[in-house]
A = this chain, B = another copy of it.
Amino acid sequence: MTETRPLEGIRVLDLSHVLAGPYMTLFLAQNGAEVIKIENPAGGDMARRLVARSTDGRDIDHVAAYLNRGKKGLALNLRSDEGKAIFRDLVAKSDIVVENFTPATLKRLGFGYEELKAINPAIIYTSLSGFGHDDIYPSPMMHRPAFNLIAQAMGGIMDITGEADGPPIPTGVALGDLVAGIFALSGTLLALQHRARTGVGQHVDISMYDCLASFSQRAVLRTYLTGEVPTRGRDSRENPLGSFKVKDGYVVMTLMGAPMWQRFCAMIDRQDLLDHPDLNPDAARGARFDTVLRPMLEEWAEDKTRDEVVALFSAADLPAAPVQDAADLLACEQLRARRMIEDVDDPVRGPMVYTGNPIKLSNMREKVPSPAPALGQDTASVLEGLLGLSPDRIAALRQSGTL
């Protein structure tokens, strides 16, 4: 075990806001990078205004709190001349810039990749957007509106999520942002790898639509080859696979192959079904999951709890698991053992619970990160430390609204 985290010594200027960008830079911070979150002095990241009312009546900026742990806070007005000059000086002393504005925004401010590269040829410039920028590849849809729901809808995920006779259903988490965030993390790390060899930086251009289209690979290829478009609720029925209601919730299960079917019939005490022509082989059981298997299972399970049902499946050597909600995750021993759920006493916000870093490295001791910064909390120390600005100069810049 060494004490060095992989990204120690790497400095990140994080211009991103709300979800996709901050989720990505959270992993940079957790792995040792110095992430300086730069926000406009007039209000900062919109995430600061997403509050949850706690049981003891406090409004807590929970989204900013979990996304920005371990980062420094710098307030800087990028529209003022003095602010622009300070940002340019910071770029000269940094390794990575991350942004998720709509594609034209930073170029308009004079901070497109080409401009920053002229200041610092080693800079890595990571963009997250709905449809991508147009400097590496053309992007005809570049100026379309883009957010999570649109990425899920256009990327092909939503169309195949839902019941056979129901509407397309969005996934309950912001897949568009979260998936783009992890791809952007990988892309940035690839650019660091490339820079270590060549000394030059590059633009990393991540599009939410591209990322979710990559997840639709199998459906796209099957459609091309077979001429048949996969539809909601049917594709997964090649094997019997799905959820059913029990006394206190839902359980998921699957059956694959004759030996599982035999154990299943024994478990529910329905040996009469073993050779039933409508329920053999696998594909027949899959096709009748909704109409035959699920109703049968729900009748069998109506007086049994989720835990009892999972235990019965497990005793029969059949795979099953509870459908868990957020309260289940909070209580889960496995997640706590792996530091995926952690109690943290935030000096400002009080007791909080955060999910951890799913990238578990044997050579890295995970640290409890510092709490998310207040707006501009580290402005003076960053500008003094990195750029040598005097306290008087900083006070004047505060006065003028630059900081």
Residues of A within 8 A of B (CB): 2, 4-7, 27, 31, 52-55, 60, 62-63, 65-66, 113, 131-132, 135-141, 144-145, 147, 149-150, 152-163, 166-173, 175, 178-179, 182-183, 185-187, 189-194, 196-198, 200, 202-207, 209-211, 213-227, 229-232, 235-236, 241-243, 245, 250-252, 254, 319-330, 333-335, 337-341, 352-364
Judging by beta carbons under 8 Å apart, are A213 and B358 in contact? Answer: yes
Judging by beta carbons under 8 Å apart, are A321 and B153 in contact? Answer: yes
Given A213-B340, A353-B221: A360 and B205 interface contact (C-beta under 8 Å): yes
Judging by beta carbons under 8 Å apart, are A327 and B223 in contact? Answer: yes
User: Distance in Å from the Cβ of A201 to the closest Cβ of chain B?
Assistant: 8
A159 to chain B: closest residue by CB: B325
Minimum-distance CB pairs A-B, first 3:
A160-B172, A145-B319, A189-B189
CB neighbours of A335 from chain B (8 A): 209-210, 213
Given A186-B189, A326-B219: A358 and B62 interface contact (C-beta under 8 Å): no
A-B contact pairs, 22 of them (CB 8 A): A4-B194, A6-B193, A27-B186, A53-B225, A55-B226, A63-B218, A132-B338, A136-B362, A137-B339, A144-B321, A153-B322, A153-B323, A156-B324, A172-B232, A173-B218, A189-B192, A206-B360, A209-B335, A213-B335, A214-B357, A221-B354, A229-B327
Judging by beta carbons under 8 Å apart, are B225 and A52 in contact? Answer: yes
Judging by beta carbons under 8 Å apart, are A334 and B139 in contact? Answer: yes
A121 to B168, alpha carbons, bound, how many Å? 50
Judging by beta carbons under 8 Å apart, are A337 and B139 in contact? Answer: yes
A333 to chain B: closest residue by CB: B140
A177 to chain B: closest residue by CB: B215
Judging by beta carbons under 8 Å apart, are A338 and B207 in contact? Answer: yes
User: Distance in Å from the Cβ of A144 to the closest Cβ of chain B?
Assistant: 8
A100 to B225, alpha carbons, bound, how many Å? 28
CB neighbours of A204 from chain B (8 A): 359-362
A375 to B69, alpha carbons, bound, how many Å? 47
CB neighbours of A242 from chain B (8 A): 149, 170
A65 to chain B: closest residue by CB: B221
User: Distance in Å from the Cβ of A375 to the closest Cβ of chain B?
Assistant: 20
Judging by beta carbons under 8 Å apart, are B150 and A328 in contact? Answer: no
A7 to B52, alpha carbons, bound, how many Å? 44
CB neighbours of A354 from chain B (8 A): 217, 221
One of B139, B202, B210 near A358 (C-beta < 8 A): B210
CB neighbours of A170 from chain B (8 A): 161, 236, 242-243, 252
Q: Specify which of A136, A160, A206, A214 lies most central, judged by the most chain B CB atoms within 10 Å of its CB.
A: A214
Judging by beta carbons under 8 Å apart, are A186 and B359 in contact? Answer: yes
CB neighbours of A359 from chain B (8 A): 183, 186-187, 190, 204, 206
Judging by beta carbons under 8 Å apart, are B52 and A222 in contact? Answer: yes
CB neighbours of A338 from chain B (8 A): 132, 137-139, 207, 210
CB neighbours of A156 from chain B (8 A): 324-326, 328-329
Judging by beta carbons under 8 Å apart, are A194 and B363 in contact? Answer: yes
